[in-house]
Structure 1
Amino acid sequence: MLKMISRPAVKLVERYLPDPYIFVLLLTIIAAVAAIAVERQTPLAVMRMWGDGFWNLLTFSMQMLLVLVTGFMLASSPPVKRLLQKIASFANTPGGAILLVTYVSLIASWINWGFGLVVGALFAKELAKLIKVDYRLLVASAYSGFVIWHGGLAGSIPLTIATDGHFTADQIGVIGTGSTIFAFFNLAIVACLFIVMPLVNRMMLPDEKDSVYVERDQLEDATDEQGPMRITRPAERMENSVILAWMVGIPGLIFLLDHFLLRGGGLNLNVVNFMFLFLAIVLHRTPRSLLTSLHEAVKGGAGIVIQFPFYAGIMAIMIQSGLAASMSEWLVSFATETSLPFWTFLSAGIVNLFVPSGGGQWAVQAPVMLPAAEALGADVSRIAMAVAWGDAWTNLLQPFWALPVLAIAGLKAKDIMGFCLVQLFITGAIISVGLVWF
């Protein structure tokens, strides 16, 4: 049945879903028009919101570009390649490959979302080199595991409200992760997704006549073709010096040990990028090997560079015009104590299409959702996690977060989003039931 459902969904998306750049242009126009029509903002005011906010995500854009680049460099190092190939060898059939890549992506995304995005995509490429399987579904399965990230160890909303002095502390106090990430209802949702998502992806596997395959040589990159290099210049000797690389790389790894073990630090995007980079420096052994990998990695970063500023402009319009708050207020206006988590989840999913940032979304929705929870007597920690899950859920439809995966895999959004659309409805049902009834 899922195979039958996924076939028209894939064809629909392939035909009508534009390139993510076109998608962000359309969202920009929709957000601007809605701010003028609904919030009674003047065109000049909306234009100023958009222009002033256009560069607000520059730091985050660089972080995301480094997630792609450093993750690729780490995975293309010889030891990690051998490890990925070893794990990939456990899958002997197309169905096994789909199951395995989904599990790997789910586990990695639960640990850290940036880690999950890169590892899932790179592991999908290794599987495609070994097994003849529909490449679109393989990459879609790798990306689908990302939906779990906000219920995992690096969830930005539960970690925010567990931090002393967060911006809603005066209203709700500090809520520990035992009431959010490690609460029964959240762990139950995570467990259900771990069981259901791999099976759903497996059942969507197309028949051979409908499958799209990729040749192994299309998956190879320059790092796979490196051979012995004849050194003729002193500069080349430094470029191929293991000692030089390790004199910088090993202190970087020692810094990470100090961060985690002695100072009790946690994972965040900067730490993940630092870890990827310095592991790559050490494992590539020579600067030349690392630079060859870097050259391949940056080829896929164009979408991040050009599109993230547009999303920053959209976020500015949504937040400053009051449009995001109005959408949330309308959706929770007919909620009850029992149904508020569901309507919060749904509103967060819609807002996420325009504000694809967990921290940014909490800043928008907390002033609306927390008073509603207080007025109805609802569980605040559950409402916070409803926003978190809504933020993660519609990433299956929003191509913003798929850009690094698509860049690594060499696909377009339309190639995978049809399969993700099926997962959108199934995971939405699971998360909704979990938030309301678990």
Structure 2
Amino acid sequence: MLKALSRPAVKLVERYLPDPYIFVLLLTIIAAAAAIAVERQTPLAVMRFWGDGFWGLLTFSMQMLLVLVTGYMLASSPPVKRLLQKLAGLAKNAGSAIILVTLVSLVASWINWGFGLVVGALFAKELARLVRVDYRLLVASAYSGFIVWHGGLAGSIPLTIATEGHFTVEQIGVIGTGNTIFSLFNLAIVACLFIAVPLVNRLMLPDEDESVYIDPKLLGEDEETRVRITRPAERLENSTTLAWLVGIPGVLFLLDHFIFRGGGLNLNVVNFLFLSLAIVLHRTPRSLLESLHEAIKGGAGIVIQFPFYAGIMAIMVQSGLAESMSETLISFATETTLPFWSFISAGIVNIFVPSGGGQWAVQAPVMLPAAEALGVDIPRVAMAVAWGDAWTNLLQPFWALPVLGIAGLKAKDIMGFCLIQLFITGIIIAVGLTWF
């Protein structure tokens, strides 16, 4: 049944889903028009919201670009390539490859979302070199594991409300992760997704005559060549000593960060980890730079599109449109259904405001008073917003850009499969938030 459902979904998306750049342009126009029509903002005000906020994600854009680049460099180092090859060797056929890449992505994304995006995509490429499998579904499976990130160790909303001095601390206090990430209802949702997502991906595997395969030679796996050194400068380019004098202190800094200072994972730490390990494992600056040259090719989408999303977020937040959408969707909620409607509203807002932390800043002033008025458990409502934010990432190409850049695909190639996952995982999460 899922295979039959996935066929029209894939064809529909391949035919009508535009390139992510076109998608972000359309979202910009829709957000601006809605702010004018619904919030009675003037065109001049909306233009100012957009222009002032356009560069608001520059730091984040650079972080995401580095997630792609440093992750690629790490995975392309000889030791990691051998490890991925060994792990990929466990897949004996197309079905086992789909399940394996999904599970790896789920585990990595639950640990850290940036880690999950890179590892899933790179492992998918490694599997494609060894197993004859539909490449679109393989990459879609790698991306589908991303859905658990906001219920995992790096979830921005549960970590925010667990931090002293967060912006709603006077209203709800500090809520520990034992009530959110490690709560029974959240762990139950995560466990169900760990079972359902790989199974659904496997059941969507197209028949051989409908599958799209990729020539392993196109995946950039070149034979290593021996470098002939003829100039003094080339000795530095091929110096293991020079690389390790920088890379090893980077690794030691991270050990100090985690062990002695009790630091946690965040995007900067993940990027520093990837880069330091890549420097050490590539052994020479030349090897690292050759890998960088390949990695940077997939970053164009991030560079051009993320500023547009910053502009959309500014329109949504400053015009009051995001708040109005949230208020409308929870206006008819009850004590039992508030988590469900919080989840749905967050999923819709996420299409226009694809940032967990930014979305909580928009929705918390609406959701928290509603939860208090109805007597609903605050951690459950917070996690409902978190899961809504993660859920529609299956439809929103914003977060897929690093995966697509590494895999060399377009959004239309994978979103048909993700659309099926959107409906199935939506049911699982909604039931978990409401009744677990």
Q: 1:146 aligned to 2:143?
A: no
Q: Distance in 2 between matches of 1:201 and 1:160?
A: 32
Query: Who is 2:56 aligned against?
Result: 56
Q: Distance in 1 between matches of 2:58 and 2:405?
A: 19
Q: Distance in 1 between matches of 2:282 and 2:157?
A: 36
Q: Distance in 2 between matches of 1:395 and 1:361?
A: 13
Q: Distance in 2 between matches of 1:297 and 1:417?
A: 23
Q: Distance in 2 between matches of 1:296 and 1:197?
A: 31
Correspondence list, 1:247-258, <5 A: 247-258=245-256
**TM-score for both structures, normalised by structure 2:** 1.00
Aligned mate of 1:268, from 266, 269, 273? 266
Q: Distance in 2 between matches of 1:378 and 1:37?
A: 33
Q: 1:216 aligned to 2:216?
A: yes
Q: Distance in 2 between matches of 1:184 and 1:128?
A: 37
**TM-score for both structures, normalised by structure 1:** 0.99
Deviation at 1:59, TM superposition (A): 0.2
Correspondence list, 1:203-242, <5 A: 203-221=203-221, 224-242=222-240
Q: Over residues 79-112 of structure 1, what are the superposed CA-to-partner deviations in whole Å (9 max), with x where a residue is unaligned?
A: 0000000000000010000000000000000000
Query: Who is 1:83 aligned against?
Result: 83
Deviation at 1:220, TM superposition (A): 1.7
Q: 1:96 aligned to 2:96?
A: yes
Correspondence list, 1:163-178, <5 A: 163-178=163-178
Q: Describe the SS at the equivalent of 1:347.
A: helix
Query: Who is 2:413 aligned against?
Result: 415
Q: Which amino acid aligns with 2:67?
A: V
Q: Distance in 1 between matches of 2:373 and 2:350?
A: 25
Q: Describe the SS at the equivalent of 2:225.
A: coil
Query: Who is 1:317 aligned against?
Result: 315
Q: Which runs of 4+ in 1 moved over 3 A?
A: none
Q: Distance in 1 between matches of 2:426 and 2:260?
A: 40
Q: Which amino acid aligns with 1:353?
A: I
Query: Who is 1:362 aligned against?
Result: 360
Q: Over residues 344-386 of structure 1, what are the superposed CA-to-partner deviations in whole Å (9 max), with x where a residue is unaligned?
A: 0000000000000000000000000000000000000000000
Question: Percent identity, aligned pairs only?
Answer: 83
Deviation at 1:225, TM superposition (A): 3.3
Q: Which amino acid aligns with 1:176?
A: G
Q: Which amino acid aligns with 1:11?
A: K
Q: Distance in 2 between matches of 1:270 and 1:123?
A: 22
Q: Distance in 2 between matches of 1:227 and 1:79?
A: 16
Q: Distance in 1 between matches of 2:196 and 2:357?
A: 28
Q: Distance in 2 between matches of 1:196 and 1:32?
A: 38
Q: Distance in 1 between matches of 2:112 and 2:263?
A: 14
Query: Who is 1:201 aligned against?
Result: 201
Q: Which amino acid aligns with 2:293?
A: H
Q: Distance in 1 between matches of 2:133 and 2:151?
A: 30
Q: Which amino acid aligns with 1:283?
A: L
Query: Who is 1:432 aligned against?
Result: 430
Deviation at 1:416, TM superposition (A): 0.1
Unmatched 5+ stretches in structure 1: none
Q: Distance in 2 between matches of 1:72 and 1:6?
A: 30
Q: Which amino acid aligns with 2:257?
A: H
Q: Distance in 1 between matches of 2:353 and 2:15?
A: 26
Q: Distance in 1 between matches of 2:321 and 2:70?
A: 36
Query: Who is 1:286 aligned against?
Result: 284
What is the aligned length?
436
Unmatched 5+ stretches in structure 2: none
Q: Describe the SS at the equivalent of 2:352.
A: coil
Q: Distance in 2 between matches of 1:237 and 1:365?
A: 56
Q: Which amino acid aligns with 1:113?
A: W
Query: Who is 1:30 aligned against?
Result: 30
